[in-house]
Amino acid sequence: MHEIEKSLSEQLLSLQKERPTVVLTEPLDPRILEAVCGLARFIKPVLLAGEAEIREVIARHLSHVDPARVEFTLSESVCLDIASRPDLVDEFAAERLKIPPPGTDGESLEHARLAVSKPGRFGIYAVRLGHADVVVGGAQHSPKDFFRPMLALLANRPVVCETGVFVLPDDHPDNIYPGNIVVFGDVGVNAVMTPRILAEVAVGTCAVARDIIPENVLPEIHGAIISYSHKGSDEGPSPDMIREAMKLIPDLMAARARMGARYASTRIVGEVKISAAISRRSAELYGDVEALTGGTNVIICPNLETGNLLYHLYASRFPNAKKLSVMFGLRSRGVDLAIDCTPDDVRLGVKATLLRLLRYGRWARTPRDTFFRRFRVLAINPGSTSTKIAAYEGDQESVTHEIQHTREELAPFAGKRIAEQFSFRKEVVLRALKERGLDVSAFDAFCGRGGSLRPIAHGTYRVSEAMLADLRSGAYGEHASNLGAIIAHELAGLAGKPAFIVDPIVVDEAPARVKVTGIKAIRRRVVSHALSQIASARRFAHESETFYENLNVVVCHMGGGVSIGAHRKGRYIDANNALDGEGPFSPERCGAVPQGQFAELCFSGRLTHAEVRKLIKGAGGLINLLGTSDLREIERRVEAKDPEAAEVFDALAYQIAKHIASLAPAFEGEKLDRIILTGGMARSTALVERLRKYLSGLDCGVSVYPGENEMAALAKGALRVLYGKEPAKEYSA
């Protein structure tokens, strides 16, 4: 049986950069709420009811749903009592009066307000006017309260069609529908029927099938237009009408193929008796075998009654079938639910509609940010020879730029505190913003890369005077990242907005047992890629539709250095100090080495103190072993059968895996939910696959998020505070 929900999810994730806003008009129906608990990763839900009412339904009916998933869903949703938004009611009423539904000419403003205050119509108008992208209803609404207004207000063309998609269980005879997948399309949704409408319905229904079923599952889409056995029927398409429609189909299919090469795999035949379309034996008896060679995937029904009959017959005959409904002709802006829908049906219908919305490339983001405000954040990340800036509108990056600083520009600051560069760096940031048409007043918050501070807990911190004093003085170390908070604070002052930092390298929530060493004079420090690690753990939690605080994960950041951290239920409880050489070797760091041999090397007279420090960080690891820090170059050598490169590459993977596995005791016997690989080296397919092999015995799976992702992590930290999902923490000296 085709795993359609898994397939839809994978296709959505491959296309989706931002989540569409979806209005659920019947959130007090337990089926709808349960479905939303499996959709929050893919949508921004607007639930048209008060939160207290919704929680009451959850308490009564959803005790079988993971409470963490419920809370995550509510945290991602807007619970909206329509009466609390008279501004939207007025806007929707004005639109209703401007384009009145049939039979409502002369309607009063008050009557229009009452009409659009009904959840079904409220959701439809929200989509029509750009406040949301998709509206979902019909499970409890009558057709006049949802389905008909949806068609009237959201249809973008004169031809519409409702398709029912079934994935039948394996015990269904497999010689009728290829892959046991069948799609029913109703011509009867249209008020009148012409050859052109019939042809467009046939092509559109086949397009729905092609859009949601991958080619590797159904290489071809075979459609059949069902005909009555006599001419002149007023209830559905006659054979003559079908013949006229068939003449139009080649041009319509050619136009569809120009929209995407995948549509070229569609074939449509006409004048097929319904018994022949659903029975191989009948096809043989009626002589339709040749027309139906290869089986039928799509059945275009002669009227609404026949389509509904087939849909409900298959639903009752095969209760384990996966089924969903998709509208054609609404630009994927509406989902009509059956009265007897299940939570599975709701999820599948929404996911299929979202897939078509994204697949056509028409949607980039919700036109208006009424329900989910897109706060604007500027992220600032100073490095030793560059300063990166990135502007975000909500989760989406709108501008990114890396400002390179020449040796001549930095020469005046040689030997001075890093804070001396503040004015120079601030001015180049302001200049870069101006060149891109951005003004500091347009931002809601500024977030700088956290620098060298005293050890602190993870989180988003408001830039304070105590923090600025420590960064300016270099009290806990000199590093270019110290400038992040200072610049953010200055720009925020100009704009009258807040400034933050997020998860600096000094995040330390480790217990004492992590820091004790066998030498009393040496106590282990926790210094790591905390920003990248915690952001990656949060990303996995979001994809799992839960919270960072609910998971146990090990995150391995693989860059110039390799830091590996244990994250237990929202606390960062252990990590190697990659900066000082702990952990596996990396492209430019030596990692842990035999201490006695290292002591002998240090006192051999062959190396100065500076050279030893450089070997620990900067000239060790792959640079020392193979003369390059470029993992791609080493992979090329491995492919060329270089034995030395092959040995080092395997040792790199093995030692990283060994140190990942060594953190299992940090969770004190609790189940490890995931291992997460991130950083630049996570782009290496060969390295990732070898790590998967070495770590497969831990039985928790591996997720991979390649790259640094620092700018997004900074912006999201600020956004969590702006959205009220967590309070800003305060730093004290």
Q: What sign for the dihedral angle of Cα 119, 121, 127, 129?
A: negative
β strands within 212-321, DSSP E: 221-226, 266-272, 298-301
Which of 98, 27, 20, 16 has the alpha carbon at shortest distance from 57?
A: 27
- pLDDT confidence tier of residue 698, bands split at 50, 70 and 90: very high
**Matching residue, tokens 């379309």:** 277
Using one digit for the tens of pLDDT, what is the confidence trace for 405-424? 999 999 999 999 999 999 99
pLDDT at 286 over 90: no
Q: Is 390 helix (H, G, I), strand (E, B) or coil?
A: strand
What per-residue confidence (pLDDT) applies to 283? 53
State how far the Cα of 725 lies from the Cα of 224, in Å rounded to an integer. Answer: 52
State how far the Cα of 480 lies from the Cα of 417, in Å rounded to an integer. Answer: 10
What per-residue confidence (pLDDT) applies to 637? 97
- pLDDT confidence tier of residue 233, bands split at 50, 70 and 90: very low
What per-residue confidence (pLDDT) applies to 186? 81
- pLDDT confidence tier of residue 291, bands split at 50, 70 and 90: low
- The domains of the chain, with CATH numbers, are 20-153 (3.40.50.10950), 161-329 (3.40.50.10750), 373-506 (3.30.420.40), 508-700 (3.30.420.40)
- pLDDT confidence tier of residue 279, bands split at 50, 70 and 90: low
What per-residue confidence (pLDDT) applies to 708? 85
What per-residue confidence (pLDDT) applies to 224? 85
What per-residue confidence (pLDDT) applies to 228? 59
What per-residue confidence (pLDDT) applies to 140? 94
Residue 691 dihedral angles phi and psi, to the nearest 5°: -65, -40
- pLDDT confidence tier of residue 231, bands split at 50, 70 and 90: very low
What per-residue confidence (pLDDT) applies to 343? 97
pLDDT at 533 over 50: yes
More confident residue, 103 or 331: 331
Cβ neighbours, 10 Å, residue 665: 10
State how far the Cα of 77 lies from the Cα of 69, in Å rounded to an integer. Answer: 12
Using one digit for the tens of pLDDT, what is the confidence trace for 47-62? 999 999 999 999 999 9
Percent of the chain with pLDDT over 70: 96
Using one digit for the tens of pLDDT, what is the confidence trace for 569-610? 999 999 999 888 899 999 999 999 999 999 999 999 999 999
Q: What average pLDDT does the structure give for the chain?
A: 92
Residue 434 dihedral angles phi and psi, to the nearest 5°: -60, -40
Task: State the average pLDDT over residues 679-707.
Answer: 96
β strands within 238-321, DSSP E: 266-272, 298-301
Ranges of H-type helices in 76-118: 86-98, 109-116
Task: State the average pLDDT over residues 679-704.
Answer: 96
Asked if 384 and 418 count as a contact pair (C-beta separation under 8 A), the reply is no
What per-residue confidence (pLDDT) applies to 281? 57
pLDDT at 230 over 50: no
Provide the CB-side half-sphere exposure for 615 (13 A, CA).
14
- pLDDT confidence tier of residue 232, bands split at 50, 70 and 90: very low
Using one digit for the tens of pLDDT, what is the confidence trace for 359-405? 876 788 999 999 999 999 999 999 989 999 999 999 999 999 999 99
Which of 228, 517, 488 has the alpha carbon at shortest distance from 377?
A: 488
**Span of 11-20, 53-62, 488-497, 676-685 with lowest mean pLDDT:** 11-20
What per-residue confidence (pLDDT) applies to 332? 94
| 507 secondary structure, DSSP code | B
**Matching residue, tokens 């491995």:** 638
Percent of the chain with pLDDT over 90: 78
Using one digit for the tens of pLDDT, what is the confidence trace for 294-337? 578 898 887 777 777 888 888 888 889 999 999 989 999 999 99
pLDDT at 287 over 70: no
What per-residue confidence (pLDDT) applies to 311? 82
State how far the Cα of 644 lies from the Cα of 634, in Å rounded to an integer. Answer: 10
